[in-house]
């Protein structure tokens, strides 16, 4: 277990948090919302048999648009931690730990609730998932943030990635007699088979399993480092330059590391963390420059509204899907009716499936917009 070294400020450097730092960034709020909207879009196509390749997860090694979404959201979680807790570093730590733990448990519990839908079959229950991983990463990163400075956070992240890389590349898969990185035949899968309770997403392995959660925390740590930068005394232009440069460096390093330890979301490889964190950093830098520095806010309302109730939107999508994907209207489900209507009109099947996904995002936007208008923000 990692031990956290207390952080005491002796002097202020450029990366120390500025006392005049802004409370919120429009670019961060918009980025959170657009990421959730993208997550809903790729999770709910009109027809899973007809989906554009980049709107699907890679089968194993590689990277698609869909593979970017989860790590970008964890990166945003890290940035949000920096903004939320930077002013609370001197508060009574036990009280903060309690709040962090309660919030993590709530997020994990909501994930369990979604996993039980629609039949609540406890004999076939999965204990992992997107919200589960967000809960764990949030807890680890928040505690780390309260007890370390940015250099210690960077070192912690680097150690996790290196140790994970060495473990996966040097320790033979038990029962196989050699190092393997194949689906269901690798060290991470073996650990899940031995210690992960309940149902696994892919039968004998799970993409949100035990071992791969460790490098997933580094996606959050990278966001905390970006948050520290945005809260520093540097000029806005220099912050943008550093975000873009750091992102390019991380993504490039991830690409070359991937030649040895492949970029793989299912294993959340070290190279995957570097590439996706680099992309997220550059995306935040670009949005920060355009929205917060240049003041070009047109088109951001959609993301801001979705981001204001991000977890609620995610949960709502899963619940609405029960109506649209399971309930039958005649001989077909509602999503099949919509897709078939597009196809009958001459739309290519994959495009029809994507059109439906966009419509579904729009349907989810309506209640979130109503909440936003009434200034109702559901926080776990």
> CA 254, CA 4: separation in Å to the nearest integer?
27
Question: Is 252 part of any domain?
Answer: yes
Question: Is 84 part of any domain?
Answer: yes
Question: Is 353 part of any domain?
Answer: no
Q: Are 233 and 16 in contact (CB under 8 A)?
A: yes
> CA 30, CA 340: separation in Å to the nearest integer?
33
**Does the pTM of the predicted model rise above 0.85?**
yes
Between CA 292 and CA 283, with CA 237 as vertex, the angle to 5 degrees is: 60
Span 5-59, pLDDT tens digits: 333 333 344 555 554 544 679 999 999 999 999 999 999 999 999 999 999 999 9
For the record, the structure tokens of 121 come out as: 């079959």
Q: For the chain, what is the domain count? A: 1
| 305 or 90, higher pLDDT | 305
Question: Is 380 part of any domain?
Answer: no
Question: Is 378 part of any domain?
Answer: no
- pLDDT score, position 19: 46
> CA 31, CA 27: separation in Å to the nearest integer?
6
Average pLDDT over residues 356-364: 96
- pLDDT score, position 332: 87
Span 94-105, pLDDT tens digits: 999 999 999 999
> CA 110, CA 90: separation in Å to the nearest integer?
31
Question: Is 164 part of any domain?
Answer: yes
Percentage of residues of the chain with pLDDT beyond 70: 94
Instruction: Quote the domain boundaries for residue 115.
Output: 26-39+60-303
Residue 329's pLDDT band, with cuts at 50, 70 and 90, is confident
> CA 144, CA 218: separation in Å to the nearest integer?
11
Span 165-185, pLDDT tens digits: 999 999 999 999 899 999 999
What is the DSSP code (8-state) at residue 42? H
Other beta carbons within 10 angstroms of residue 226's beta carbon come to 27
């Amino acid at each position: 277990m990692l031990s956290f070294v207390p952080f005491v400020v002796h002097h202020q450097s450029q990366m120390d948090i500025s006392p005049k730092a802004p409370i919120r960034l429009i670019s961060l709020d918009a980025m959170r919302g657009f990421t959730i909207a993208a997550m809903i879009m790729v999770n709910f196509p009109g027809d899973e048999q007809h989906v554009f390749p980049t709107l699907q997860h890679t089968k194993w090694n590689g990277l698609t648009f869909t593979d970017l979404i989860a790590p970008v959201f964890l990166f945003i979680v890290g940035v949000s931690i920096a903004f939320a807790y930077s002013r609370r570093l001197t508060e009574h730590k036990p009280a903060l730990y309690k709040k962090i733990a309660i919030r993590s448990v709530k997020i994990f519990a909501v994930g369990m609730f979604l996993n039980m839908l629609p039949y609540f079959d406890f004999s076939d229950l999965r204990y992992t998932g997107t919200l589960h991983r967000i809960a764990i990463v949030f807890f680890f990163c928040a505690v780390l943030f309260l007890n370390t400075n940015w250099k210690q956070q960077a070192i912690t992240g680097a150690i996790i990635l290196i140790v994970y890389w060495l473990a996966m590349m040097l320790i033979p898969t038990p029962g196989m007699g050699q190092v393997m990185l194949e689906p269901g035949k690798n060290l991470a899968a073996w650990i899940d088979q031995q210690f992960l309770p309940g149902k696994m997403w892919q039968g004998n392995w799970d993409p949100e399993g035990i071992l791969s959660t460790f490098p997933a925390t580094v996606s959050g740590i990278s966001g905390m480092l970006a948050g520290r930068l945005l809260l520093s005394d540097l000029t806005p232009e220099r912050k943008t330059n550093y975000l873009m440069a750091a992102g390019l460096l991380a993504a490039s390093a991830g690409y070359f590391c991937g030649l040895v330890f492949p970029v793989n979301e299912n294993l959340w490889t070290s190279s995957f963390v570097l590439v996706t964190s680099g992309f997220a950093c550059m995306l935040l830098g670009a949005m920060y420059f355009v929205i917060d520095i240049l003041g070009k806010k047109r088109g951001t309302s959609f993301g801001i509204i979705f981001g204001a109730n991000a977890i609620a939107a995610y949960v709502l999508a899963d619940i609405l899907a029960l109506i649209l994907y399971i309930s039958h209207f005649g001989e077909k489900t509602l999503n099949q009716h919509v897709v078939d209507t597009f196809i009958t009109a001459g739309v290519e099947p994959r495009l029809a499936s994507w059109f439906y996904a966009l419509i579904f995002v729009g349907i989810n936007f309506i209640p979130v917009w109503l909440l936003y208008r009434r200034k109702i923000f559901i926080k776990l």
